[in-house]
Every structure is written in structure tokens, then in C-alpha cells.
A = this chain, B = another copy of it.
Amino acid sequence: MTKFMTLKDAVATYVKDGDTISLEGFTHLIPFAAGHEIIRQKRRNLSLIRMTPDLIYDQLVGAGCVRKLTFSWGGNPGVGSLHRVRDAIEHEYPCKLETVEHSHAAMANAYEAGAAGLPLAVFRGYVGSELPLVNKEIATITCPFSGEQLAAIPSIKPDVGIIHAQKADRAGNVLIEGIIGVQKEVVLSAKRSIVTVEEIVDDLDVTPNACVLPAWTVDAIAVAPEGAKPSYTLGYYDRDNNYYKQWDNISRDRDSFNQWLESHVFGQGDV
């Protein structure tokens, strides 16, 4: 059953060293507050999964929490590189970073298959791409009806799924609205799940087919107002595109990153 918790307690309870974790949110609803709490609690040797690593994973990697990264597009959208991720890949700073690289279609299908309880995802993918040469996870299966060769990859079933959402009601049901990405899939496929929300409300007040996660699918709900900043929460606040641009300078240099980490993460109390 769902427990309402502080974010500090939720991370302490459900995130362990060595876990495989998906913090998802396709540009929208990225769980920055939860990521920062993981950094503050100094989790180590995490295997992180995320379609679009983005700043949140740059920060986790730069803070030394991560040993492995599975991704399909790793960059600062519209700005450039993730300098902390590149520093880890290219110079093993602050530690060695193993990578597993997919396409978006592959990861979207693997999340879908994970939510669907299947061991594999089957899709028309990687045709002519050289990614299968460098990613041993990518196999092919032959359709018994058409003879077509299709791509197959293992489904994603993280130990912990972490997302941010607009709101929960008092029973712990969660509404996700707007660009919903793979948010539902992450929670449904993960062994344990944490959802941060902008607020708790009496009534979600939704239309019949809204994207709602029932309370019993979520392990911990933590209220984290502005918990997605500098990403955004539709209906609450906009994406801080300027922050993304300025991140390029902060993250380019190890010292300025470490300064930022001290003042903006370790210097902040728990939410």
C-alpha cells in the first residue's frame, strides 16, 4: 500500500546502493528533487536507466553515484553535451561509467514490455544501424507468420522507478498529465516506486481516460513542490530553458560543478 512520506524517508527506505533505477520524465516532469535527495544520501554504484539522461543524470553521474548508464539520447536538449557524463565516459571522473546504448524506440518498447510483464520487447528496429554491433543486448527474432526479422531486446524492469507527477489524492492515487512519456510504464514495471507530486488534493477531478496510477501501484508518495525544476510541471510552472543553457557553463568544469553541488544540493535541506 502507498505510504505518504518525506522525500528523505522515501529515498532512505526504497533506494539502495547498487540498485537499478529509472528516474523518468520525457523532458516534462523530470524528478530533480528526488535525484538531488539521492545525491545527498550518497547512494553509490547505481545502474541508471533513462531514455534522455538530461541534467538530472549529469548531476548524479558527476556526484559519483553511478557506475552504469543505459540511455538512448544523452545530451542537454538544444544546448549541447552532458559534460559530467562525458567526463565520466572519457576520463573516468569521478569514477568509471559503463554505458549501454539504445535508440528511443528500443527503450520505449522495453519499458512497455516491462510494464506488460514480458521478458522481451519485439519491434521493427535497428534496421541498418550499427548499434547492434556495440550493444550485445540487441537480438533478432523471426516472425513465424511473415518471416520478417524483428529486433528483440530485454524488457526494462528496474528495482526502483521514480517519477514526478502533478498531484495525488488523499488515498494516494496519482494524476500524470501532459507529456506522460514512459511514466506509467516505469511505475508499473519497477519492483519499488517513488512518486513526487506538486500537491495532495481532495479530488483528482479527472476525465474518464486520464492517466491515473492507482494508489496500490505506488510504494511512496512524497510532496515536492517544484520538484521537477528546472524541468516543468504542466499546469504548475514552465520549463526553465535558461537554466538548461546556463548548465553548460556550470557543468563544463569540475570545480564549478562541485561548487554547484555543495551549494545547491548538499547545502539544501531535505524537501
Contact = CB atoms under 8 A, between A and B. Distances in A.
Nearest to A150: B118
A145 B139 contact: yes
Contacts of A5: none
A263 interface: no
Copies of this protein in the complex: 2
Interface string A144-163: 11101010101000000000
A159 B225 CA distance: 50
A12 interface: no
Give the secondary structure class of A's interface: loop
A141 B139 contact: no
A89 interface: no
A234 interface: yes
A154 B148 CA distance: 12
Nearest to A123: B118
Contacts of A145: 119-120, 139, 152, 154
Interface residues of A, number: 28
A209 B208 contact: no
A209 B178 contact: yes
A205 to B, nearest CB: 11
A219 to B, nearest CB: 24
B177 A207 contact: yes
A148 B120 CA distance: 10
B154 A180 contact: no
A122 interface: yes
Given A145-B154, A177-B209, A209-B211, A117 B124 contact: yes
A234 B211 CA distance: 18
A210 interface: yes
A148 B122 CA distance: 14
A133 interface: no
A143 interface: yes
A144 B206 CA distance: 41
Given A141-B141, A143-B152, A207-B207, 12 more contacts: A117-B124, A118-B122, A118-B143, A119-B145, A119-B146, A119-B148, A120-B144, A120-B146, A139-B144, A145-B152, A177-B207, A208-B234
